[in-house]
Amino acid sequence: MSDSSTIRLAYSPDSDDAFMFWAISEGRIDTRGLRFEHRRADTEALNRDAEGAEAPHVSAISIHQYAYLADRYLLLPHGGSVGAGYGPIVVADRAMTLQDLRGRRIGVPGLRTSAYLVLKLLLPDFEPVVVPVAPFRRAYEALRSGEVDAALLIHEGRLLYESEGFERVVEIGEAWTAETGLPLPLGGNAIARSLGDDRIALISDVLRESIRWALDHRDEVLEALLQAEHREGVPRDRALFDRYLGMYANADTLDYGPDGRRAIEELMRRGHEAGIIPHPIRVEFAP
């Protein structure tokens, strides 16, 4: 990179990602000579951009997408979204079981999302229909119009389905944990190998400090995110933000821990054995 002090940092508009990097964007921590250029995009765009010529140095990605980036990126040991017995949810306009959806159309947020990969492991036989994750109401519109028979909801959208009048079919994090005994790894932060060991270690330290600062000042950051929220369909509801951050911005965000790391390896292994991921993946973490 032409300016080694400038780090291109990409992450989603979702509140857990914003939470992690708030201390950097607001100048609350010492970035140790590094300058961060922030870019926000939805999950599918982040996954796609990480493959391009102008890929960011650090990017939030789906853990599923890591399978296609492992030769160029390491996973950071922090910044992960991990569901401890919970995660994305499949909903429909009436009560049904997951097996009722065999061969049916299910709206998914993207074919490289971890949610899609896990659902495919749980229900190999369904027709995926990509429904953009933003605005959240798009998935509900697809259900109401009959475009899809069910929808796989991620991010804050998975907390809003009841108020929209839909029924839960399956909580895929719950199903994954029942099957594996492990938490569900959904998203992570990846860092370019091309930065070199010293630069990677420095950037990792700064990003870890940003997460730690946010966790130590949780109420302040939560209130700031609530006031700044402007995404279509996301209510400025403190209880909803508090619940969502409790799920995906917590101690597991500061470090995956042994179970979280094993869960990533297990997801990669199962994805490959099912023929969804085309090659075996060696999961490697930055310091």
Catalytic residues: 155
Long-range contacts of 197-205 (CB under 8 A, 24+ apart): 199/4, 200/74, 200/286, 200/287, 201/286, 201/287, 202/32, 202/34, 203/7, 203/34, 203/57, 203/58, 204/76, 204/77, 204/78, 204/286, 204/287, 205/32
Question: What 3-state DSSP class applies to 90?
Answer: strand
- 3 state DSSP class of 13: coil
List of residues 6+ apart from 194 with CB closer than 8 A: 72
- Distance CA(190)–CA(275), nearest Å, equals 24
Q: Concatenate the DSSP letters of all residues of 145-163 into one string.
A: HTS-SEEEE-GGGGGSTGG
The two structure tokens encoding residue 40: 């926000």
